[in-house]
């Protein structure tokens, strides 16, 4: 017979995998837009009005007499905002709040050219412009004289006006009958009601979808719009499914699929050798993105010309308005900055969050947690955080503890804190319907739950059984929820307890597509359809605010969220996400790389995937390769379902344990570099994890590569993602570059693909010539211990004998770096045989004991005679060194140089 646990798991898996997810053909608004006629809108140029912050003019669709208002604004830094709304709506349409944090200052537009057929508006001394064509309406965005992007190039602008709900909708609601066909020949649905798998969706204001198309001129590579388990470069969708943005609990998802997963970021990037541009489509309703390359890349190569090369992208959303920003770069770094300024910069995480996290659904009790904690120390494997899933609660009531399994949570947290480690617990948005539970009563009595279309509290099934769902779109609900994390409210919690928000798409086991009904009602009377993709974003926000409030605003929180939207990255030190419930398979390991690269391009820099795969058992080789890959990715957590065999790193024999220990140890040694990269993401928007083309913008050979990537600008990684591999092919870009194998220090010339032998213990990593990377030296059990260790500095010389790099330091936990400028940024520069350490910023001041003990210089052509160290205020000092001629590496040890002070090493 099956055990109780096995029965529970089988039932849970069945619950989450039964049912059906929609294809585009099942979605009424998408059918209407894709099968309906092109709407030939006309721009009424005589209605043009130039205002202080932009321009506006009216659009008219002659056949349906639909009157629209087009609003344009532009910024000097290179972005254009396009907003289309009804000219006279029967009620206000939903506009996404809380995502955009700062609009770039608007430039005054001026008329540069005007004719009967078009008008050209320019700004920024004529560097940029927009040309509005009268009929058929289209809007061209100009950089100089070149048309870079065209809005409505193929006439796909679609806008369904809201209708008076007192008529047809009420009839449809009461009878369930169709009121009219959607498009000619389509008898499968109606405009006011829609049925899928027995669920009836009543549209309170009738059909309200919007859509538009963009043409990217001269571009044949587009990326972004996560989250999908697919390639980095978006595929042509004309003969298949479009990319869907609709946050869903997609347990054990398929790979190479365009179906929506747990989060959505409606940002698309297009890149060519001389320019990177992007479109941010600010809409939180269900959205489809279609891509069409024309002509094909192969045809371009054969014709040896870029004439006619373009990519068309079509957006279609169920509701809201058209509100999009075209970001003009011109390079990827400028585009990242433009987008970060708009939606928020990546939060700077606490240092412990960049360490290794150990999780399982679920650790059984306090003794189990302590045994796992001790196991890491016994086997010499560092880690920082252990996690508890839903079974730690009292009958799935969040903010509680199971009295039998976790009777002394305070003592457990103090036990971990004594070892400088943290505890993370799960908190989901569904609240068990239990009038005897204080949290449920308060939420019910204060109106904090989502309502159904009839005004009753919406209920659905999730882990706790019959549940109600908190309305996080309500700022009062968020404030109430945030206070629940206070030490006085959350019994058994301490300042070393952090939070994991899961199932927040939201997941509703007995709902359509296992999520909330679209006609459920939120704060302000808005239907769930309007803001579905924002739901997890808002819970993430409320949880972050709760932890910041708990510390009195002193300490950086850590919150991991499964669901996300544009802007999730900015939540103070808490903006971490992961790729959800993946599987223990080589295909899932392989797809992790493009998934994380796509998230990084869309601003979600603190991202990772469950090491080993969440669902099913992981074979030892797969587990080792996953640890090696994940140790070189931003968020690093091992996690598995409880029906899988236990997989703590020491359970598979000493060879496997040693390989995993080495991968985790190397991760910890590299944390000074990772932390510096997150500082740069926090201030510039540049992601730590980067596709090759971000660093090698002109090299088309890199544009579709998604099996290897850059960590910052210095390290190139090619994870091993296939079984039984003994040799891998690695592209080393840049014909003028040099690369150094970090294991052997062997130098390779760039601009070619090299074959490298690998064993189970190795993964190809190269340091780029011209870079400097700092690492911790020695061993520790967690980040707090590693912080006390000295640093080693690896200088990789370029072909010109130069190198440059930075090191960021602060206390690793508080907001003092922001509030009191308690940080230091150190710059290392090697030129003409002299390595200089100096300040990289005038803003910060942080006096720390961190010392640099060792410097290695890769690519030294000859053995020096007498390296000397010069520190301000002290005489020059000769230092001992070693030189390995075979790999041309110079190493200077026993330096004991303060990282926060200026000094230089002269190599004579």
Residue whose token pair is 């080789």 = 621
Give the CA diameter of the chain: 93
DSSP 76-139: TTTEEEEEEEESS-SSPPP---SS---PPPBPPPEEEEE-SSEEEEEEGGGTEEEEEETTTTEE
| 21, 513 Cβ separation under 8 angstroms | yes
Q: Residue 699's closest CA among 273, 153, 106? A: 273
> Known catalytic residues?
502, 505, 581
Taking 3-state DSSP, the helix, strand and coil percentages for the chain, each rounded to the nearest 5, stand at 25, 30, 45
Q: How far does Cα 451 stand from its chain's mean position?
A: 30
Three-class SS state of 397: strand
Taking the C-alpha atoms of residue 394 and residue 386, their distance in angstroms, rounded to an integer, is 19
Beta strand pairing status for 146-151 and 356-358?
unpaired
Taking the C-alpha atoms of residue 414 and residue 393, their distance in angstroms, rounded to an integer, is 19
Taking the C-alpha atoms of residue 811 and residue 457, their distance in angstroms, rounded to an integer, is 46
| 770, 805 Cβ separation under 8 angstroms | no
Taking the C-alpha atoms of residue 169 and residue 601, their distance in angstroms, rounded to an integer, is 42
Taking the C-alpha atoms of residue 663 and residue 762, their distance in angstroms, rounded to an integer, is 9
Three-class SS state of 6: helix
657 contact partners, CB below 8 Å, separation of at least 6: 379, 381, 649, 650
Three-class SS state of 388: strand
| 228, 243 Cβ separation under 8 angstroms | yes
438 contact partners, CB below 8 Å, separation of at least 6: none
Beta bridge partners of 748: 739
Sign of CA dihedral 572, 574, 579, 581: negative
Taking the C-alpha atoms of residue 822 and residue 844, their distance in angstroms, rounded to an integer, is 6
Taking the C-alpha atoms of residue 678 and residue 345, their distance in angstroms, rounded to an integer, is 10
| 304, 338 Cβ separation under 8 angstroms | no
739 contact partners, CB below 8 Å, separation of at least 6: 716, 732, 747, 748, 749, 750, 766, 767, 768, 769
Three-class SS state of 51: strand
Going edge to edge, which strands form the sheet with 636-638? 606-608, 576-578, 559-561, 497-501, 422-426, 385-388, 356-358, 636-638, 610-611
What is the CA angle 415-416-418, rounded to 5?
Answer: 70
Residue whose token pair is 């140089």 = 897
User: Around 700, how many Cα atoms within 13 Å sit in the side-chain half-sphere?
Assistant: 10
| 352, 812 Cβ separation under 8 angstroms | yes
| 251, 615 Cβ separation under 8 angstroms | yes
Beta bridge partners of 805: 828
N residues, the chain: 908
Q: Give 813's DSSP letter.
A: S
Taking the C-alpha atoms of residue 572 and residue 357, their distance in angstroms, rounded to an integer, is 20
| 214, 530 Cβ separation under 8 angstroms | no
Three-class SS state of 705: coil
């Amino acid at each position: 017979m099956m055990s109780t646990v096995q029965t529970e798991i089988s039932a849970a898996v069945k619950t989450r995998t039964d049912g059906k997810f929609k294809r585009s053909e099942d979605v009424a608004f998408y059918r209407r837009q894709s099968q309906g006629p092109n709407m030939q809108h006309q721009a009424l140029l005589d209605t043009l009005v130039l205002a202080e912050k932009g321009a506006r003019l009216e659009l008219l669709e002659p056949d349906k007499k639909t009157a629209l208002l087009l609003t344009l604004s532009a910024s000097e830094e290179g972005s254009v905002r396009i907003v289309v709304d009804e000219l006279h709506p029967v009620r206000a349409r939903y506009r996404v709040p809380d995502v955009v944090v700062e609009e770039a200052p608007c430039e005054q537009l001026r008329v540069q050219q005007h004719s009967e057929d078009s008008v050209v508006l320019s700004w920024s001394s004529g560097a940029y412009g927009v040309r509005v064509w009268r009929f058929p309406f289209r809007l061209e965005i100009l950089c100089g004289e070149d048309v870079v992007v065209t809005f409505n190039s193929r006439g796909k602008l679609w806008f369904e006006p809201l209708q008076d709900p007192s008529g047809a909708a009420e009839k449809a609601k009461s009878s369930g009958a169709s009121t009219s066909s959607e498009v000619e020949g389509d008898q499968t649905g109606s405009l006011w009601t829609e049925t899928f798998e027995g669920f009836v969706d009543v549209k309170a204001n009738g059909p309200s979808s919007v859509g538009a198309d963009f043409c990217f001129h001269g571009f044949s590579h587009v990326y972004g719009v996560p989250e999908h388990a697919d390639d980095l470069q978006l595929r042509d969708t004309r003969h298949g499914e479009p990319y869907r943005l609709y946050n869903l609990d997609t347990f054990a998802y398929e790979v190479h699929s365009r179906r929506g997963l747990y989060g959505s970021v409606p940002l698309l990037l297009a890149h060519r050798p001389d320019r990177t541009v992007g479109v941010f489509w600010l809409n939180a309703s269900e959205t489809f993105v279609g891509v069409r390359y024309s002509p094909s890349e192969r045809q371009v190569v054969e014709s040896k010309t870029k004439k006619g090369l373009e990519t068309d992208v079509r957006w279609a959303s169920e509701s809201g308005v058209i509100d999009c920003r075209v970001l003009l770069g011109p390079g990827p770094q400028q585009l990242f900055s433009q987008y970060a300024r708009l939606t928020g910069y990546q939060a700077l995480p606490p240092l412990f969050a960049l360490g290794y996290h150990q999780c399982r659904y679920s650790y059984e009790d306090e003794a189990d947690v302590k045994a796992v904690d001790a196991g890491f120390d016994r086997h010499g494997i560092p880690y920082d955080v252990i996690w508890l899933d839903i079974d730690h609660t009292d009958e799935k009531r969040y903010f509680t503890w199971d009295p039998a399994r976790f009777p002394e949570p305070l003592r457990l947290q103090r036990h971990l804190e004594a070892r400088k480690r943290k505890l993370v617990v799960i908190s989901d948005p569904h609240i068990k319907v239990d009038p005897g539970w204080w949290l449920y009563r308060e939420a019910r009595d204060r109106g904090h739950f989502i309502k159904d279309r009839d005004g009753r509290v919406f209920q659905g099934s999730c882990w706790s059984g019959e549940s109600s769902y908190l309305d996080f779109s309500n700022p009062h609900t968020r404030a109430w929820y945030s206070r629940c994390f206070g030490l006085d409210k959350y019994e058994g919690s301490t300042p070393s307890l952090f939070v994991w928000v899961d199932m927040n798409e939201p997941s509703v086991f007995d709902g359509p597509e296992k999520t909330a009904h679209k006609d459920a009602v939120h704060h302000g009377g808005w239907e769930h359809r309007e803001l579905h993709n924002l739901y997890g974003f808002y819970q993430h926000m409320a949880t972050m605010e709760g932890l910041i409030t708990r510390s009195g605003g002193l300490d950086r929180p850590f919150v991991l969220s499964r669901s996300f939207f544009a802007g999730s990255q900015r939540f103070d030190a808490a903006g971490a996400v992961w790729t959800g419930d993946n599987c223990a398979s080589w295909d899932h390991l392989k797809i992790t790389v493009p998934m994380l690269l796509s998230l990084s391009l869309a601003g979600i820099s603190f991202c990772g995937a469950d090491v080993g795969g969440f669902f099913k058992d992981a074979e030892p080789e797969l587990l080792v390769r996953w640890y090696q890959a994940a140790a070189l990715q931003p968020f690093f957590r091992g996690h598995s379902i409880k029906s899988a065999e236990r997989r703590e790193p020491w359970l598979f024999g000493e060879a496997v344990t040693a390989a995993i220990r080495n991968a985790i140890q190397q991760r910890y040694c590299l944390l000074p570099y990772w932390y510096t990269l997150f500082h740069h993401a926090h201030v510039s928007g540049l992601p730590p994890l980067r596709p090759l083309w971000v660093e090698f913008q002109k090299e088309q050979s890199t544009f579709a590569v998604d099996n290897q990537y850059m960590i910052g600008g210095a390290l190139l990684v090619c994870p091993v993602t296939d079984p039984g591999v003994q040799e891998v092919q690695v592209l080393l870009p840049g014909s003028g570059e040099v690369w150094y194998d970090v294991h052997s220090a062997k130098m390779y010339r760039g601009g070619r693909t090299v074959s490298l032998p690998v064993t189970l213990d190795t993964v190809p990593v190269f340091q780029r010539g011209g870079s400097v990377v700092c690492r911790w030296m020695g061993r520790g059990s967690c980040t707090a211990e590693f912080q006390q260790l000295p640093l080693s500095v690896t200088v990789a010389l370029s072909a010109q004998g130069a190198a440059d790099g930075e090191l960021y330091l602060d206390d690793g936990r508080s907001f003092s770096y922001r509030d009191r400028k308690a940080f230091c940024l150190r710059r290392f520069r090697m030129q003409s045989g002299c390595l200089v350490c100096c300040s990289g910023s005038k803003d910060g001041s942080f006096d720390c004991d961190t010392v640099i003990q060792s410097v290695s210089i890769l690519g030294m052509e000859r053995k020096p005679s007498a390296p000397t160290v010069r520190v301000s205020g002290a005489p020059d000092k000769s230092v001992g060194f070693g030189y390995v001629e075979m790999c041309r590496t110079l190493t200077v040890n026993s330096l004991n140089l303060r990282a926060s002070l200026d000094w230089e090493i002269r190599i004579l």
